[in-house]
Structures are given as C-alpha cells and as structure tokens.
Structure 1
C-alpha cells in the first residue's frame, strides 16, 4: 500500500488531507478561469469536483501502480481554503513523486504556493521520498520559481507541452 496523507502545518498554512467534503468549498477557489491558462481545462462544477475527489481519496490508481496524496491548502488564520498541493508517487523502490500546486488568483503573489509545496516536500522527505519532479508550462514563471525554490531544475524533456523539472 502507498502512504496516506496526514495534516501538515507551516508558518501561515495548514495542509489538510483531501476529503470529498472539500469539494463544496473548493468550487469557489477553483472558479477563476485564469487558473487554467497554463494547465488547461475549465472551472469544475461542484458535481465534477466531488466525483474527482471521490476518486482521489482512494489514494492510488486502480492498478495500484501509482499512489496519490492530495492536500487542501488553508490559511491558518481563517481556515479559508486557497488551493491545493498534490504528489503522485510513481516508484515504490526509490519513492519518487510528481508534484503539483494550485493557488487561487486571489491569493497568488504572497508565497503561498512555495510555502505549501515546501511543506509538502519536507513531509514527503520525512516519509522516504527521495526524488521529485513537476511538469510546468514553459511560460508559467510563477510555477518555475516555486520549482527552483524546491531544488528542481528544468530538463530538456517536454511532457504534453510542459517542461519536466526534476531534483
């Protein structure tokens, strides 16, 4: 079995393990169409998000080949959700993780993505994960900055139009 997400705290944020209950609160967080400029897609409905979360909280793919860890990012001060971070575990022998982060545009530019992603990476390291990667749109400078802060570097690999960053 893959590891399960646990609560994580940082200076200004709480990362709460994903539940289906979070869907209703996250619809508003993910409603701004500008979020999808680089990652594609469109704002989810409450039903779509609920179905997505129902699948994700299982914690692994149907065939068991990948593990899924998802956290909702909330502000410690208000408990308001502002985004999410996730890690897809892809190698049981060396525990490697593909990372992703999304912050509502209303909370961008304040270091929340970096703080949340760094807290997630620290937790993952404490749980034996040794290699990290992220796929980032070549024009998404904010996500590239987060990746650099996490110790990732851009590679020559391109996956679905996104640059592969690795530790």
Structure 2
C-alpha cells in the first residue's frame, strides 16, 4: 500500500513530503514548544529522541501488523520552511456481514474488506492561524480517497477548538464516541453507488 499513496503531495501553498529520519533536524524546533503538546500529550522530544521516533515511523510497522503508517512533513512552498506534519494510520475494519434470507434458512456473507484511516495533523505554534492544517489535512484526505480509502476518523481533544475547526472544515463530523478522552470525528459514509 505504500507506493504512490505515500508519494509527495502538493497543494497551492504546501508540499507534503514523505517522512524520513533526516527531517528530525528541521522538525525539532517546529515541535519544540510545550504549548503545542497541550492537547496532543507528551512534551517536546530532544533531537535524538525525534530521530529515533522518525526512524521507527519511517520503518513502518512489523509485517505481521495489518496496518500502514503514512507520515508526511508539511512544508511551505514559498520558502521551503517545515511547519508541521500530517499522518494516517490505515487498519482493516471489522468485517460487515449481510444476511440473505431464504425459505430454508439464511446465508451470512462477509462484505468486502474495508480499511479505516485514522488521521492527525500538527502545525507548529508560529505557523498556526494561516490555514495550513486545513490545507494539509484536506490534501491528505484527497490522497486517501484517490486510493479508495473513504472511511476516515480523527480524534480531537474536546478543548482543542482549533483542531475541531480543522476537522469540520475537511468534512469530518463529531460522533458520540470517545477514545482516550478525545472525541472521535468521522467522515460521513456515503451510500454505495447503484
């Protein structure tokens, strides 16, 4: 699944580059603000810790995990400045079954395999308020949709109004679900064409 789905993505103002270990040097100062971690948790990583994290992410999950890790740094086109990152973790969803009833009994068949993409975006403090998160997240959703991934979720801390605004602008809607104290937002499912 990596192939073209993980290639560089371009928008009017941004370039999303597939994450590599060397990006740690320029991303460390972008992510080195405790205010940024208020809703996403943790604290700023040292350069060595960020390098190790990026090495882990770039390597991807172990082959027996049935998921894909897709990570991009977000960079401004006009000056090449790294401003944040977007990511998607793609996992298989529980199968949906259909039941066909007949006079002699019922036939239960699994539906087609379905993948769910859990997405996230983080933009450094000095670069917030310019629409970069919305533009980058929308580009990410467009890339996922182009590869058939339309089941998309994000989790947003209930007090993080900026991320809730981004989620809303890219078409996600809050659900009644929570995960680790965060609200689950979901792209509304569209009926299959007939």
Structure 2: give runs of 5+ residues left out of the alignment.
94-112, 188-194
CA RMSD between the two structures: 1.2
**Alignment: residue pair count:** 166
Does the 8 A contact of 1:73 with 1:83 survive in 2? yes
1:96-134: CA deviation from partner (whole Å, max 9, x where unpaired): 200000000100001000000001110111111111000
Task: Name the TM-score, length of structure 1 as normaliser.
Answer: 0.95
- Kindly report structure 1 stretches of 4+ aligned residues shifted beyond 6 Å: none
Distance in 1 of aligned mates of 2:62 and 2:75: 26
1:53-91: CA deviation from partner (whole Å, max 9, x where unpaired): 111112334532211000000000111100000000012
Equivalence for 2:2? 3
Equivalence for 1:77? 78
Equivalence for 1:100? 120
Specify the SS of the correspondent of 2:72.
strand
Equivalence for 1:35? 36
Distance in 1 of aligned mates of 2:62 and 2:133: 26
Task: Name the TM-score, length of structure 2 as normaliser.
Answer: 0.82
Distance in 2 of aligned mates of 1:40 and 1:68: 20
Distance in 2 of aligned mates of 1:155 and 1:3: 29
Matched, 1:144 2:164: yes
Specify the SS of the correspondent of 1:84.
strand
- Structure 1 pair 87–61 and aligned structure 2 pair: CA distance change class (3 A): farther
Equivalence for 2:129? 109
Equivalence for 1:55? 56
Structure 1 residues 124-139: aligned runs within 5 Å: 124-139=144-159
- Structure 1 pair 61–110 and aligned structure 2 pair: CA distance change class (3 A): farther
